[in-house]
Amino acid sequence: MSPITVGFAMCGSFCTFHKVIPEVERLVTLGYHVIPIMSETAYSTDTRFGKAADFRNKLQTITGNAIIHSVFSAEPIGPKKLLDLLVIAPATGNTLAKLANGITDTPVTLACKAHLRNARPVLIAVSTNDALGTAAKNIGLLMNAKHMFFVPMRQDDPVKKPNSIVADFTQIPDAAAAALENRQLQPMYC
């Protein structure tokens, strides 16, 4: 029996990369075959949280796979049925809006569209400062969409950033196992 193949797509919530990358490593340790995917922004932008090249090198070392980082390279995910599960972590407000409205102009959103054509699960780990504001409607739409599941989430700083929600990234492995069984890990809000 071949291992379960997980696409692990990262968007530009750079402040969470230090929490997300260890979860990629955990999935590999648990026996999943992980294919990294990055938005153009995540793939190429240096920030105060680290250099893009360092994040890319770390992901490729952990997974042993090249990073899908263009729309062109994400398109075969669907026709070739490359993935059993797609994890989007961190999922920014911008990506949530695009997914909720069918916009597929980034490697991450096209990977999602291509993957969903096979009626396979997508697991979203929210990380956005406007989750309880403008992005709330998009999260709601995605929660009601077929094959979409969420990593449990919480307000990360209710006093200073009352609209901000961040997934509990440590629950990615459990949420992935649940999504592969076509169920939402509960409780959704922790």
Would you state the structure tokens that stand for residue 119, as one six-digit string? 């009626």
Segment 144-164 shows an average pLDDT of 95
Q: What is the pLDDT of residue 2?
A: 79
pLDDT in tens, 8-46: 999 989 999 999 999 999 999 999 999 999 999 999 999
Cα(34)–Cα(176) distance, integer angstroms = 12
Angle, CA of 36, 132 and 101, to the nearest 5°: 55
Asked if residue 128 has pLDDT above 90, the reply is: yes
Segment 86-111 shows an average pLDDT of 97
Domain map (residue ranges) of the chain: 5-180
Cα(88)–Cα(1) distance, integer angstroms = 25
With a pLDDT cut of 70, the percent of the chain lying above it is 99
Grouping H, G, I as helix, E, B as strand and the rest as coil, residue 31 is: coil
Cα(10)–Cα(101) distance, integer angstroms = 19
| Topology given in CATH for the domain delimited by 5-180 | Rossmann fold (3.40.50)
Which residue, chain included where needed, has tokens 């379960």? 4
Q: What is the pLDDT of residue 190?
A: 82
Which residue, chain included where needed, has tokens 């407000």? 93
Cα(117)–Cα(125) distance, integer angstroms = 21
pLDDT in tens, 131-146: 999 999 999 999 999 9
pLDDT in tens, 54-80: 999 999 999 999 999 999 999 999 999
Q: What is the pLDDT of residue 11?
A: 95
Cα 28 to Cα 105, 157, 161, 173: the distances in Å are 28, 31, 33, 10
Write the CB contacts of 38 (distance below 8 Å, at least 6 apart in sequence): 9, 10, 56, 59, 67, 68, 69, 107, 108
Closest CA to 122 of 39, 21, 6, 36: 6
